[in-house]
Structure formats: C-alpha cells, structure tokens
Amino acid sequence: MAAAALIGLGVGAEADLTPYLLTRYFGLRSFSTLYGFTWTAYAIAGAIGPVWMGKAFDATGSYASLLTTLSAATLVSAGLLLLLPRYPVVLPSEEGGI
C-alpha cells in the first residue's frame, strides 16, 4: 500500500511539477516548446522501458538488476533537482501582462 501511494504521488507530482518548473525557469515564451520536448521524452522512455525490462529479464532471469540501476538513476535525478538554483522572480508586468 505504501509503495502504491508513493508511486501515485510521484506520478501526480510529475504532471504538476514539470510545467511549474518550466514556466519559472524559462518563462511562458518557451513553455510550449519545452513542455512538448518533455512529453516526447516521457513517451520515448515509456516505449523503451518495457523493452529494456524484457531484455534484462531474458539476460538475468530477474528484473532486480535493472530496477536497482533505474532506482539509482532516479535518486541521482532527484538529487540534481535539489541543486537547481532559485528561479528568477518576474513581476506580472514583465511577463507581458500575463
């Protein structure tokens, strides 16, 4: 139950956090392009992930080794998010009235 709750929080946060950070760091002018790139990356990863998992299982008879590697990569990614600098504060009048 705890794992399902954490997965749900992670998936829900991903959909909310990505556009928030994109607009804060890159502004509204670049948002649609960057948001499109992020969802393209998600789609490619969603297509490649099952193939990698299948190949890992065929090679080792277990998913454990690849899941451990992917978990470590996720932790590194989360750590890198902590290193992001503060985003610049932009007044609404500087955004073109939005």
- 88 or 3: which leads in pLDDT: 3
If one counts the domains in the chain, the total is 1
Residues in Cβ contact with 26 at an 8 Å cutoff, skipping those fewer than 6 apart: 34
- 36 or 78: which leads in pLDDT: 36
pLDDT of residue 31: 92
- Asked if residue 51 belongs to a domain, the reply is yes
Residue span of the structural domain in which 41 resides: 2-83
- Asked if residue 53 belongs to a domain, the reply is yes
Residues in Cβ contact with 35 at an 8 Å cutoff, skipping those fewer than 6 apart: 18, 19, 22
- Asked if residue 92 belongs to a domain, the reply is no
- Asked if residue 17 belongs to a domain, the reply is yes
| Whether residue 36 has pLDDT greater than 70 | yes
What's this model's pTM, rounded to 2 decimal places?
0.68
